[in-house]
Amino acid sequence: MPFAYTDREVMLYALGIGLGQDPLDPNELPFVYEKNLKVVPTFATVATFNARPAPGAAPRQGLAMNFALFLHGEQRLTIHKPLPVSGQMTTESQMLGVYDKGAAKGAIIVQQSVIRDKSGDAICTLGNTGFARGDGGFGGPADGAPEPHPIPTRPHDTEVALPTRKDQALIYRLSGDRNPLHSDPDVAKIANFPVPILHGLCTYGHCCRAILQTYCDFDPARLRAFDVRFSSPVYPGETIVVRMWKDGDTISFEANVKERNITVIKNGRAVVQG
């Protein structure tokens, strides 16, 4: 599916994950101002929101599942070359596997998308794992989904605290994910949350900020992979504390909400270069 974005989408995403709150910070300004613009690698997770099937393409096959019980469980990103600040690209998605954890637990759905530039070069590969809680017991294989990245048992090496704003989800959602669970108080209550929750991928972007500032000197080109498992939602206004462990080029990380001491991101794995 073809899609396009401009530097406006790149900057809007960066503001959505809380970059540039101090507009005089020389490390963050390049992510939110078009002069020598830097692209946060996790922008890839929202870049394809306006992707549509090319004219004449075969129709997409739907998934006959209960979407109301579907959860975004894991997000993976492998970066092959830096994302440009704007461009026309394609994304090609593929189902890697569907695993059956039984009627009580549900099904695990593993998908992958590859983003390519006009020359056909792969820019990045996005992977995600969904938990279709209402669709287990269909008789498929139980095992085969990606194993979660193990976190070291030693105390973490360092941590970064990133406050979010109460309106963080309202800015973030303009990057494409308009699920009303993140904006509508009534929808949030129906889903048993006291208030609208932050997008999991917005928390994911905050974690990427922590890795960029701690281990990449704010150079997006040094980040090569960024994988997480979502474990609990953040409420807008809370502080996300990212705990990190470095072993060679691999950074392991977790994220906690400071105000409630709840783990929101588990099994985080980043690969950094240099």
Comparing CB distances to a second copy, the nearer of 32 and 208 is 32
Q: 203, 67, 202, 200: which is closest to 132 by C-alpha?
A: 67
- Rounded to 10 deg, the angle between the 7-16 and 200-215 helix axes is 90
For residue 82 the two structure tokens come to 């830096």
Minimum CB separation of residue 168 from a second copy in Å reads: 9
Catalytic residue, chosen from 182, 199, 206, 227, is: 182
Comparing CB distances to a second copy, the nearer of 66 and 179 is 179
Comparing CB distances to a second copy, the nearer of 34 and 92 is 34
100 counts as catalytic = no
CB 98 within 8 A of CB 145: no
**φ, ψ of residue 147 in degrees (nearest 5):** -75, 140
Minimum CB separation of residue 67 from a second copy in Å reads: 20
121 counts as catalytic = no
CB 211 within 8 A of CB 253: yes
Minimum CB separation of residue 20 from a second copy in Å reads: 5
Distance of CA 129 to the CA centre of its chain: 11
Catalytic residue, chosen from 177, 199, 206, 227, is: 177
Could you list the residues that contact a second copy (CB under 8 A)? 8, 11-12, 15, 20-24, 29, 32-35, 165-167, 169-171, 174, 178, 180, 183-185, 195-196, 236
Rounded Cα distance between 22 and 13, Å, is 16
Minimum CB separation of residue 181 from a second copy in Å reads: 12
Which amino acid would we find at residue 75? Q
Residues acting as catalytic residues? 177, 182
